């Protein structure tokens, strides 16, 4: 088996970055459509209680996507490094172990979701009505855990197999399926949140089936094998350790949203949680762009790392940083300038909900470009095989939230809940960004003494 493709030698570093980043950003935005389209239909057909319910279900179901992405980006990183080393056997080994992990983790997730889903909703402060709606969503995803986890992993595996356009195409097919089924199940059949869940699961199945067909085709030198032959636990652990920082990012997002839900129920009302859901969708759009930039940066950086080209690593990362900052500032400017038009996508004319969401945008999102840089830093360290630093950043991003969420609401009420995330993000950025800068500077210093093989 031999690799049939590598980065074309005529491409500049910038062109190679955008070759991955554009499909990756598109893929993340398309993936986000699953969540955002669900919110649009739920907001219009179920109302603010439906938005509150889906926002309480989201921290639980989001973990399935995080598990899939952990396996996908961990295995994908090893595939890219193996490609940089021109070692197809190691790439196939990475794919084999990734598929086995998907199957094993799915069984564990199914058991946990079915047995503890209701408890996790209760912890967030869900009342009887909200809990009943949210439980429809959570249990549906629990029974389909294998599909959701596989759908999170397979686009990353395909993208690192040097086929970013195919990965994006599969995600677009799934997203379009989700939009059509949301209208059918929520708008026509009135299945509420269960309809939203079933629509998403079927759409994810479309992506999974397409991905399996890809790895059975002539487009890829790799093949999917669900086998225990030549499986080593240390290889599984390598995938988990490389992708664990991404899972922690998802845990962080789930944990923070759950804590915000609880605090908003303590210091506000169901309406406040509904407004937080809308603001969360606005944040998600940028977060997906930032994550797309980071994941688009990952394959070339991992390739340059395997090929021992540190100067290319630095140039690619600096470009990703610039794009992340520009995207964050631009999106907040649009949100600040035209809030009612954007909020109207999720609201059928509830003036109180609109007013609450406008306040949330101003207080909650002004520092979101820094959150994008923290995401970028996490993926950067993972891409150069420094899983420990990536994991430390992700864990810190979660822990730094706690004192802010505990103390600020006591002093400022609902406004304190809104301000907790941006203020903690500002604090963490003073630690994380110098870490990235120092690592890049060190690479630039040692670059001249290192061999520079041809790609």
| Shared-domain flag, residues 213 and 267 | no
DSSP state of 384: T
pLDDT for the residue numbered 452: 43
The answer to the question of residue 454 being in a domain is: no
The answer to the question of residue 2 being in a domain is: no
Q: How far apart are CA 279 and CA 256, in angstroms?
A: 14
The predicted model gives 415-443 an average pLDDT of 91
The answer to the question of residue 85 being in a domain is: yes
Confidence of residue 454 (pLDDT cuts 50, 70, 90): very low
| Shared-domain flag, residues 254 and 227 | no
CB-based contact 71:157 (threshold 8 Å): no
Confidence of residue 384 (pLDDT cuts 50, 70, 90): confident
What's the domain count of the chain?
A: 2
Q: What token pair was written down for 151?
A: 């759908």
3-state helix, strand, coil in the chain (%, to 5): 85, 0, 15
Q: How far apart are CA 334 and CA 330, in angstroms?
A: 6
| Shared-domain flag, residues 264 and 398 | yes
The answer to the question of residue 6 being in a domain is: no
| Shared-domain flag, residues 90 and 171 | yes
| Shared-domain flag, residues 226 and 249 | no
pLDDT tens profile 16-38: 888 888 888 887 787 777 778 88
| Shared-domain flag, residues 224 and 279 | no
pLDDT tens profile 121-173: 998 888 888 899 899 899 999 999 999 999 999 998 998 888 888 988 898 89
| Shared-domain flag, residues 224 and 348 | no
pLDDT for the residue numbered 90: 86
| Among candidate residues 414, 318, 315, 398, the one with its CA nearest the CA of residue 364 | 414
The predicted model gives 326-339 an average pLDDT of 94
| Shared-domain flag, residues 314 and 406 | yes
| Shared-domain flag, residues 382 and 299 | yes
pLDDT for the residue numbered 62: 86
**Phi then psi for 330, rounded to 5 degrees?**
-65, -45
pLDDT for the residue numbered 433: 92
- The answer on pLDDT for 3 being more than 70 is no
The answer to the question of residue 348 being in a domain is: yes
Choose one of 182, 198, 231: the last residue of a domain.
Answer: 231
Give the helix ranges, DSSP H, for 6-126.
13-45, 48-84, 88-123
- The answer on pLDDT for 406 being more than 70 is yes
Choose one of 170, 203, 231: the last residue of a domain.
Answer: 231
Q: What token pair was written down for 158?
A: 């395909």
The predicted model gives 345-361 an average pLDDT of 89
pLDDT for the residue numbered 6: 54
Q: Give residue 305's domain range.
A: 245-446
- The answer on pLDDT for 203 being more than 90 is yes
CB-based contact 65:238 (threshold 8 Å): no
| Among candidate residues 281, 275, 269, the one with its CA nearest the CA of residue 350 | 275
Q: How far apart are CA 397 and CA 250, in angstroms?
A: 11
| Among candidate residues 168, 167, 177, the one with its CA nearest the CA of residue 198 | 177
Q: How far apart are CA 433 and CA 359, in angstroms?
A: 29
pLDDT for the residue numbered 447: 52
The answer to the question of residue 238 being in a domain is: no
The predicted model gives 234-238 an average pLDDT of 87
Kindly report the pTM of this predicted structure: 0.78
| Shared-domain flag, residues 331 and 417 | yes
The answer to the question of residue 81 being in a domain is: yes
Choose one of 201, 231, 261: the last residue of a domain.
Answer: 231
What does pLDDT average to over the chain?
86
The answer to the question of residue 111 being in a domain is: yes
- Please state at what angle helix 48-84 crosses helix 13-45, rounded to 10 degrees: 160
Percentage of the chain beyond pLDDT 90 is 41
pLDDT tens profile 91-114: 888 888 899 999 999 999 999 888
| Shared-domain flag, residues 158 and 255 | no
CB-based contact 455:307 (threshold 8 Å): yes
| Shared-domain flag, residues 207 and 320 | no
């Amino acid at each position: 088996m031999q690799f049939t493709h590598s980065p074309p030698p005529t491409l500049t570093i910038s062109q190679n970055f955008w070759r991955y980043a554009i499909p990756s950003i598109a893929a993340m935005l398309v993936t986000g459509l699953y969540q955002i389209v669900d919110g649009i239909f739920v907001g219009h057909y179920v109302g603010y209680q439906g938005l509150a319910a889906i926002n309480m279900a989201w921290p639980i179901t989001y973990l399935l996507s995080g598990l899939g992405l952990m396996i996908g980006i961990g295995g994908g990183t090893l595939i890219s490094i193996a490609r940089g080393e021109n070692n197809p056997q190691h790439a196939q080994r990475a794919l084999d172990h990734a598929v086995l992990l998907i199957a094993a983790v799915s069984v564990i997730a199914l058991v946990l979701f079915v047995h503890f889903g209701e408890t996790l909703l209760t912890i967030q402060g869900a009342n009887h009505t909200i809990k009943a709606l949210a439980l429809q969503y959570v249990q549906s995803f629990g029974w389909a855990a294998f599909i959701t986890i596989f759908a999170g992993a397979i686009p990353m595996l395909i993208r690192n197999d040097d086929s970013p356009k195919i990965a994006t195409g599969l995600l677009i097919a799934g997203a379009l399926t989700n939009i059509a089924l949301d209208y059918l199940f929520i708008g026509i059949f009135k299945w509420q949140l269960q309809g939203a869940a079933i629509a998403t699961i079927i759409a994810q199945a479309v992506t999974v089936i397409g991905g399996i067909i890809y790895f059975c085709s002539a487009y890829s030198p790799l093949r999917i094998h669900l086998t225990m032959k030549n499986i080593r636990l240390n290889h599984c652990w390598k995938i988990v350790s490389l992708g664990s920082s991404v899972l922690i990012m998802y845990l962080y997002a789930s944990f923070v949203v759950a804590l915000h839900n609880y605090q908003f129920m303590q210091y506000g009302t169901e309406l406040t949680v509904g407004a937080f859901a809308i603001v969360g969708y606005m944040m998600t759009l940028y977060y997906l762009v930032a994550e797309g930039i980071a994941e688009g940066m990952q394959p070339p950086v991992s390739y340059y790392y395997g090929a021992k080209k540190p100067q290319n690593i630095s140039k690619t990362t600096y470009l990703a940083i610039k794009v992340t900052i520009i995207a964050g500032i631009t999106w907040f400017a649009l949100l600040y300038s035209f809030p009612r038009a954007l909020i109207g996508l999720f609201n059928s004319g509830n003036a109180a909900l609109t007013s609450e969401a406008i306040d949330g945008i101003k207080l909650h999102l002004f520092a979101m470009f820094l959150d994008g840089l923290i995401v970028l830093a996490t993926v950067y360290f993972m891409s150069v095989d420094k899983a420990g630093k990536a994991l430390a950043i992700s864990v810190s991003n979660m822990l730094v939230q706690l004192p802010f969420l505990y103390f600020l609401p006591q002093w400022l009420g609902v406004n304190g809940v809104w301000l907790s995330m941006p203020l903690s993000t500002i604090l963490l950025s003073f630690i994380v960004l110098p870490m990235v800068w120092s690592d890049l500077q060190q690479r630039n210093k040692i670059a001249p003494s290192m061999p520079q093989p041809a790609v």
